[in-house]
Amino acid sequence: MPFDRSVKIAPSILSADFANFGQEIRAIEAEGADWVHVDVMDGHFVPNLTFGPMAVKAFRPHVKTVMDVHLMIAPVDPYIEAYADAGADVLTAHIEAGPHIHRTLQAIRGAGMKAGVALNPGTPAEAVAHLLDLTDLICVMTVNPGFGGQKFIDMTGKIATLRQMIGDRPVHIEIDGGVDPTTAPKVRAAGADVLVAGSAVFKGGSVDNRSVYGTNIRAIREAANAA
């Protein structure tokens, strides 16, 4: 996984057909997805429940790009090995999910994955000040996690602060929640490179009408690149 700061579109399969993940993943990749974003929810850290490591392992052979697994679970540490075994390329934990994020990030890297740290809207940029050399990706939530299709919460100040804090370090800034062609330029201008989008990618399309996914992905990318 070579590092760069170009715009990467990461469709969230939270908005895909849950009875058809394999075909959905192949469709979004064929239509230009750079990464595949996989939202794991436990009904405890967030008020919604999706799937666990067995499902993620089943997604793996369909993902040819980067499998970006966003854990919205607490605790995290007992499950790190299971997600490594499932084939996650990037494993992201929430800083709010427990008292020992430093240990969690070390354990994720120790298990051979890229380590991400996610920040809820209420958590300041400064919370990661002592984690910058332990992390490969900072995920700035622009909604309160738990559901797709929510309204974008403007976090451009936080993104710009993080971009400055990161400096030359090879750390991605990922934006998750409410990303569409209107909001993408704002977050790109502030310093984001990985744009997660669920509803804005999947809306109007299906595996039998997958060119809509391509149109949606291109619209987000072009808007971001024009920023």
Name the residues annotated as catalytic: 39, 176
Among the listed ranges 23-31, 158-166, 170-178, 213-221, the one in contact with Zn ion (CB under 5 A) is 170-178
Q: Does 12 bind ligand DX5 (CB under 6 A)?
A: yes
* Choice from 105, 166, 190, 197 touching ligand DX5 (CB under 6 A): 197
Q: Measured at CB, which residue is nearest to ligand DX5?
A: 198
CA–CA separation, 33 vs 124, rounded Å? 30
User: What is the footprint of Zn ion within residues 51-70 (CB under 5 A)?
Assistant: 70
Cα–Cα distance list, 20 to 13, 149, 159 (Å): 10, 20, 34
User: What is the footprint of ligand DX5 within residues 155-194 (CB under 6 A)?
Assistant: 176-179
And the tokens for 212? 């809509």
Q: In degrees rounded to 5, what are phi and psi of residue 173?
A: -110, 120
- Strand-pairing partners, residue 120, are none
Give the three-class secondary structure for 154: coil
Give the E-state strand segments of 65-190 in sequence order: 67-72, 90-94, 114-119, 137-141, 172-176
User: What is the footprint of ligand DX5 within residues 63-122 (CB under 6 A)?
Assistant: 70
Q: Measured at CB, which residue is nearest to Zn ion?
A: 70
DSSP state of 126: G
For residue 69, give the nearest of 45, 87, 81 by alpha carbon.
87
Q: Measured from the CB of residue 167, what is the shortest distance to ligand DX5 in angstroms?
A: 27
CA–CA separation, 57 vs 170, rounded Å? 27
Q: Measured from the CB of residue 45, what is the shortest distance to ligand DX5 in angstroms?
A: 10
Among the listed ranges 98-106, 143-151, 156-164, 210-218, the one in contact with ligand DX5 (CB under 6 A) is 143-151
CA–CA separation, 102 vs 8, rounded Å? 26
Q: Does 148 bind ligand DX5 (CB under 6 A)?
A: yes
| Residue 52 or 169 having the CB closest to ligand DX5 | 52
Q: Which residues contribute to the site for Zn ion (CB under 5 A)?
A: 39, 70, 176
**Residue ranges in contact with ligand DX5 by CB under 6 A:** 12, 14-15, 37, 39, 70, 143, 145-146, 148-150, 176-179, 196-200
